[in-house]
Amino acid sequence: MSWAVGFDERWNRDIGYGVPAYCDHPKCDAVIYRGLPYVCCDQQPYGGDRGCGLYFCPERVDVRHRCSPCAHGREPYKAKPDHPDWLRWKLEDDSWAEWRQQNPVAVAEARAVLAGGEAGTGPSV
């Protein structure tokens, strides 16, 4: 099994070491990827039993790879939107053609985001 690209149903987004992303800390825009080295809490898939499953650069976690909310028993941060490079890949690469056919609303939202609009406000496909 490969962890290059998967899907996290809790956060409703793609994950894996093939998915470029921004650090999910609200005050950080570091570019990382949504692979196990960056997931909150013990580097376990989906954050394991104790983590929130969000992804953080090394500067935003403690020595146990926990974000501040998880380390202090608080509600998790809000997940950040997909990185533009990832959106472009999904919209342009041949390997995602079937996904594009099956998900016209998501395609329209991704196009709107890349065009500088808000998700959900783009033209329908």
Q: What is the pLDDT of residues 70-123, one digit of tens each?
A: 999 999 999 999 999 999 999 999 999 999 999 999 999 999 999 996 544 332
Distance CA 76, CA 70 (A): 7
Q: Please indicate, yes or no, whether residues 66 and 100 belong to a single structural domain of this protein.
A: no
Asked whether residue 1 is domain-assigned, the answer is: no
What pLDDT, on the 0 to 100 scale, is given for residue 28?
Answer: 97
Q: Please indicate, yes or no, whether residues 64 and 114 belong to a single structural domain of this protein.
A: no
Number of separate domains in the chain: 2
* Per-residue pLDDT tens over the stretch 54-73: 999 999 999 889 999 999 99
C-alpha torsion sign, points 81, 116, 106, 98: negative
Q: Please indicate, yes or no, whether residues 35 and 11 belong to a single structural domain of this protein.
A: yes
What pLDDT, on the 0 to 100 scale, is given for residue 117?
Answer: 60
Q: Please indicate, yes or no, whether residues 65 and 92 belong to a single structural domain of this protein.
A: no
Distance CA 14, CA 9 (A): 9
Q: Please indicate, yes or no, whether residues 26 and 65 belong to a single structural domain of this protein.
A: yes
What H or E segment, with its residue span, contains residue 113? Answer: helix 104-114
What pLDDT, on the 0 to 100 scale, is given for residue 121?
Answer: 34
What pLDDT, on the 0 to 100 scale, is given for residue 68?
Answer: 96
- Domain containing 112 equals 81-125
Q: Please indicate, yes or no, whether residues 50 and 88 belong to a single structural domain of this protein.
A: no
Q: Please indicate, yes or no, whether residues 90 and 120 belong to a single structural domain of this protein.
A: yes
